[in-house]
Amino acid sequence: MTNVVVKPSSWLTTGIRVEKVNNLNLFKFTKELGARMQELLDKKKADLLTPEEAAELEAIGELDVIFSYINAMIAAET
């Protein structure tokens, strides 16, 4: 069995946007990446994820954790 790895950095140019919220520039997913994450979560719930999709979901989840941390740090500085 081959391990599948998806790097969160693969979405730097297509899956990430900066949105101004209450005078703060926060990192967000694009609509497309958010929809893909939801699609993968739905497939996971139905126990239908392929190994490749599981790796993709894990990478998107890691990116979500990173964004949450960075956005919290930005908010704490104000």
Residue 40 has what pLDDT?
98
Residue 4 has what pLDDT?
77
Q: What is the mean pLDDT of each successive set of 10 residues along the chain, which is 78 residues long?
A: 78 92 96 97 98 95 96 94
Count of the separate structural domains present in the chain: 1
Answer whether residue 48 is part of any domain: yes
DSSP state of 13: T
User: 44-68 burial by CB neighbour count: b if 16+ within 10 A, else e?
Assistant: eeeeebeeebebbbebbeebbeebe
Answer whether residue 3 is part of any domain: no
Domain that holds residue 29: 8-76
Closest of 19, 15, 13, 27 to residue 60, by C-alpha: 15
Beta carbons of 69 and 19 less than 8 angstroms apart: no
Residue 17 has what pLDDT?
96
Answer whether residue 1 is part of any domain: no
Q: Structure pTM?
A: 0.87
